[in-house]
Amino acid sequence: MLRRPIACLIAAILLALSWFAWPVAADQRDERLDQLFTRLKTTSDPREAKAVEQIIWHLWMDSDDATVRQLMRDGVTAMSRQQYDVALERFNRIVQHAPDFAEGWNKRATVYYLIGNYPSSVLDIERTLQLEPRHFGALSGLGLIYDAIGRPAAALRSFEAALAINPHLSGARRRVQELRRQLRGRPT
Q: Which residue has the higher pLDDT, 11 or 51?
A: 51
Task: Give the integer Cα–Cα distance in Å for 5 and 41.
Answer: 19
Task: Give the integer Cα–Cα distance in Å for 83 and 77.
Answer: 9
Task: Give the integer Cα–Cα distance in Å for 48 and 50.
Answer: 5
Single pTM value for the model? 0.85
Q: How many residues does the chain have?
A: 188
pLDDT digits over 17-68, tens only? Answer: 444 433 445 678 788 899 999 999 999 999 999 999 999 999 999 999 999 9
Structural domain boundaries of the chain?
A: 1-62
Q: Which residues of 135-157 are buried (b: 16+ CB within 10 A; e: fewer)?
A: bbbbbbbbbbbbbeeeebebbbb
pLDDT beyond 90 at 131: yes
